[in-house]
Chain A
Amino acid sequence: MNPTNDYSMWEVFIRSRRGLDHKHVGSLRAPDAEMAIQNARDLYTRRSEGVSIWVVPSQQIVASTPGEKEPLFDPADDKIYRHPTFYELPAELEHM
């Protein structure tokens, strides 16, 4: 443990069921990683929402900037062959 006065931001990811991905659910403040997990448990999993928790220091998130939206995302829109819309998915496949 590295004692600190610092109450920093953490991003919280919860996996609600086995087989599903961790989903971002929100953020919180905590003095360190272990307390961040405990706080995440109190804030986000009290009503049995999860089977697994990830916490990541918010500082470590590298985000795209809104100004880059067009070069990053627009080229995909006019190439319909990039989208898997020509397949019929079996009904049993729930999480595609």
Chain B
Amino acid sequence: MSQHTTTFTPATAADADLYYYVLRQADTAMVLCQRLCEWVAKGPELEEDIALTNIGLDLIGQARSLYQYAAECSGQPITDDDLVFQRNERQWVNCLLVEQPNGNFADTIVRQYFFDAWHKAFLTQLTTSKDETLAAVAAKSVKESAYHLRHSSSWVERLGAGTELSNERAQKAVDDLWAFTYELLTPDELDERMQVRGVGADLVAIRADWERSVHQHLTRSELAVPSEVFPATGGRNGVHSQHMGYLLAEMQILARSMPGCEW
């Protein structure tokens, strides 16, 4: 991961692989939480407003545990807040899917569904990780993730098999977001090294399960599975889509313009 030449490059980390592996998970949860929080007071119904932000709250809880662990692994005197508020776009290593804009409700739900279907399988595998902290965080998070998946998959079905308009919007969301699922499901060198160590998840196995269950669910929801598209990847190595800078600007402005502020 030599492309990370920043203050947060853990030159002193005993285990840079572990640091980045944890950071990727933390960033992914954090960015998705930020997106879900954008729905506050804008949900299609009060009940859904609360449901989406509850999911966001679960994710920020997971992110916090992971950032604290990443800070520990970094070998530097940094905190979870430093990692969230003081890194620039190229230093963020979340996957591209979660930074995609909320769009309409169908866009948000389909993004969430693709993520949840992956996340639950990923966390299930990490519960048996040889890394005790990752295993403990996963054991706590996997129950939350199961509920998130129940929520998003229920909505995919209702939108897909609902009205003509809801089907059209859900299908467009599926088509638009499909390219971003490759990054979740395709191991790179870091994933492979972590898997060999018995710390990381087996993305190849997850991919097979994900494809089977997502294909089934889309079909049941009267949505077409997109044909092969060119994969959009890069977020996990710090190369983001045009939306990421705006997201970070909004998320970080307070902490950066008023260093050390409390409320």
A residues with CB within 8 A of B: 1, 3-5, 7, 28-32, 34-35, 38-39, 41-43, 46
Contacts and interface: CB of A to CB of B under 8 A. Distances in A.
Contacts of B50: 39, 42-43
A38 B163 CA distance: 21
Given A29-B47, A35-B155, A43-B47, 11 more contacts: A1-B158, A1-B161, A3-B158, A5-B163, A28-B47, A31-B158, A35-B154, A35-B158, A38-B51, A38-B151, A43-B50
8 contacts: A1-B157, A7-B45, A29-B47, A34-B154, A35-B158, A42-B54, A43-B47, A46-B54
B243 interface: no
A42 B47 contact: yes
Question: How many B residues are at the interface, by size bracket?
Answer: 10 to 19
A9 B150 CA distance: 21
The 8 closest A-B pairs by CB, nearest first: A39-B47, A3-B162, A42-B51, A42-B54, A3-B161, A42-B50, A28-B47, A38-B151
A31 B46 CA distance: 13
A41 B58 CA distance: 14
Interface in B61-81: none
Contacts of A34: 154
A35 B50 CA distance: 13
A41 B36 CA distance: 18
B70 to A, nearest CB: 27
Contacts of A5: 162-163
Given A1-B158, A3-B161, A39 B51 contact: yes
Contacts of B48: 39
Nearest to B157: A1
